[in-house]
Amino acid sequence: MELAIILLVFLIAFRKDLLELRSFSLQNEQDKFILKLGLGLLGLALLVAGTDRFVQMLEIKYHPEILFLNDWLRSLPYNDLSVYFGYNSRILLRIIRAVYHYGFFVPCIFLIIRAVARRDLRSLSLLIFSTFAFHYAVHFPFYFFTEGHQIWYVKGIMVPLFRTISPLDHVFPSMHASMSVTSMLLAWRQPNMATRILYSIFCPLVIFSTFYLQIHWTIDAIAGASIGVAAVKFAEYATAQGWLYLIIARLNQTWALLRRPASKELSSRG
């Protein structure tokens, strides 16, 4: 139910952009190229998610952590904002749970769909270089070599909010915060005012949800937000340098080599 409502809100905000899909044609080479880029970006997101599961297996087996942050996180002043919130409203809690759960990927996916629908190659380039792969590459060393847990876990608070009980739920820095900031900054570049307003409200609410649900510490969100800004700056540089075209050209060359038939001399051996 909550996901349906969130999707409806985003569909309304993006309705003008999505209508452009009606003129999409697989017979048009440019449309096919844009579609491949969009699907490739979604595939990259799935690859990153799969890599994350593999890394967690390595953590369980080898215990690579060299820094343990729980005591430091707990000692910082104003690092636990959940002490200022009340938890008497079940409706509010349900809303915030949904925002946290779906807020990680829904904003980014709609930006991808919008870029494809508008045939906006620059926006796709910014998304490719600023989202999933960049964030995981930056977060990975922290998640692999440090151990820092969620607020409720460190404080031993067993309020039934939205969370999982796992020693692998690292918190520093917050990827929810970094992805939200990146999505918001990219949305601010869109000409659609409804999109800009929606992301200006929804993305900060995602970060707030991590505090309310006793998941992230203040320092987690600050570090994550910094990564989110850096991601957009990196994407701007990569896009201006034309890295997307270079990568596509290199992939096409590799694909052509793989498809090249073996010479008669090689095939006759053995």
Rounded to whole angstroms, the Cα distance separating 167 from 147 reads 8
**pTM, full prediction:** 0.84
Instruction: Using alpha carbons, list the distances in angstroms from residue 189 to 123, 195, 200, 268.
Output: 9, 10, 12, 58
**Residue 267 falls within a domain, yes or no?**
no
Q: What is the pLDDT of residues 24-70, one digit of tens each?
A: 877 888 888 888 888 888 888 888 777 777 877 887 788 888 888 88
**Residue 264 falls within a domain, yes or no?**
no
Position 45 scores a pLDDT of 81
**Residue 261 falls within a domain, yes or no?**
no
Position 266 scores a pLDDT of 44
Q: What is the pLDDT of residues 176-211, one digit of tens each?
A: 999 999 999 999 998 889 999 999 999 999 999 999
Angle at alpha carbon of residue 224, lines to 221 and 227, rounded to 5°: 155
Position 186 scores a pLDDT of 94
**Residue 123 falls within a domain, yes or no?**
yes
Which residue type occupies 236? E
Average pLDDT of the residues of the chain: 85
**Residue 266 falls within a domain, yes or no?**
no
Looking up tokens 């601010």 gives: 188
Residues with Cβ within 8 Å of residue 20, at least 6 apart in sequence: 117, 118, 119
The kind and range of the H/E element at 4 are: helix 2-13
**Residue 86 falls within a domain, yes or no?**
yes
- Under DSSP, the state recorded for 103 is T
For residue 12, pLDDT over 70 is answered with: yes
pLDDT band for position 1 (cuts 50, 70, 90): confident
Position 250 scores a pLDDT of 83
Domain containing 116 equals 2-256
pLDDT band for position 269 (cuts 50, 70, 90): very low
**Residue 269 falls within a domain, yes or no?**
no
SS3 content of the chain, % helix, strand, coil (to 5): 75, 0, 25
Rounded to whole angstroms, the Cα distance separating 166 from 149 reads 9
**Residue 262 falls within a domain, yes or no?**
no
% of residues, the chain, pLDDT over 90: 31
Q: Indicate the number of domains in the chain.
A: 1
